[in-house]
Amino acid sequence: MEEIDLNDIKRRMNNSLEVLKTEFSGLRTGRASANMFETINVNAYGQVMKLRDLATVSIPEAKLVSIQVWDVNNIALIEKGIHESGLNLNPQTEGSIIRIIMPELNEERRIELAKTASKYAENSKIAVRNVRQDSMNLLKRLHQSNTYTDDEQREMADKIQNLTNESIKSIETLSLSKEEEIKKV
């Protein structure tokens, strides 16, 4: 017999929040961060791989990124992946090390990053709403098959909606703080 599992619903909604945090960590705010390289993909060994699977990213200084490439044959591929990432970074290679000096963010770039952050937040909200919709559809089916009474259905629908509201509020809070961080000069 199918049943509504509120813990599973909460887990799925929290998953959307975790994805958003990962995406936000990739948005730079003028300081170097190893997290911003988490989303960079590289075409290596005949497949798409994450940069972290091909090199070690370290931050020796606030405005400097050092990428130690494990296989020198991948240097050009990693540079291409960095260029195509949309982060507007200019990698410089010295042997098996790629160095990137973080450029200052201008006002235009800050606005662009804030829009990107907003888009990520909206996608996360959509994912949460999809979880709610799936749960409500299951609840409706269970109610029609007399698994839940009218009162139980209303109570469960309220609980699902409360979980949704909490998740959306968390996303909005995270989004606001990220936008403030981006716009801070």
Task: Summarize the confidence of residues 165-183 as an average pLDDT.
Answer: 90
Strands (E), 62-107: 64-69, 92-94, 97-101
- Decide if pLDDT at 112 tops 70: yes
Please report the pLDDT score of residue 54 as a whole number: 84
Phi first, then psi, for residue 47 (nearest 5°) are -150, 165
Q: Which CATH superfamily hosts domain 6-24+106-183?
A: Ribosome-recycling factor (1.10.132.20)
Name the burial class of residue 96, with classes exposed (0-12), middle (13-18) and buried (19+) by CB atoms within 10 angstroms of its CB: middle
Please report the pLDDT score of residue 69 as a whole number: 86
- Decide if pLDDT at 1 tops 60: no
Model confidence at 125, in pLDDT bands (50, 70, 90)? very high
Strands (E), 33-170: 41-44, 47-50, 55-61, 64-69, 92-94, 97-101
Task: Output 173-178 pairs: Cβ under 8 A, ≥24 positions apart.
Answer: 174/17, 174/20, 174/21, 174/24, 174/121, 175/20, 175/117, 175/118, 175/120, 175/121, 178/24, 178/27, 178/117, 178/121
pLDDT tens digit string along 27-64? 766 666 777 777 788 888 888 888 888 888 888 887 78
- Provide the whole-model pTM: 0.68
pLDDT tens digit string along 63-92? 788 888 888 888 888 888 888 876 777 888
Please report the pLDDT score of residue 133 as a whole number: 96
Question: Which is nearest to 26 in space by CA: 52, 46, 5, 2?
Answer: 52
Please report the pLDDT score of residue 129 as a whole number: 96
- Decide if pLDDT at 14 tops 80: yes
* Tokens 């005949």 belong to residue: 46
**Domain residue spans of the chain:** 6-24+106-183, 31-101
The more confident residue out of 36 and 159 is: 159
Q: How far apart are CA 179 and CA 73, in angstroms?
A: 38
Model confidence at 139, in pLDDT bands (50, 70, 90)? very high
Identify whether the C-beta of residue 138 lies closer than 8 Å to the C-beta of residue 2.
Answer: yes
Task: Summarize the confidence of residues 168-184 as an average pLDDT.
Answer: 89
Question: Which is nearest to 128 in space by CA: 174, 183, 182?
Answer: 174
Please report the pLDDT score of residue 179 as a whole number: 86
Query: From 3.30.2350.10, 3.30.559.10, 3.30.1360.40, 3.30.930.10, which CATH number describes the 31-101 domain?
Result: 3.30.1360.40
Please report the pLDDT score of residue 29 as a whole number: 63
Q: How far apart are CA 36 and CA 50, in angstroms?
A: 12
Percent helix, strand and coil across the chain, each rounded to 5?
A: 60, 15, 25
- Give bridge partners of residue 94 from the DSSP assignment: 97
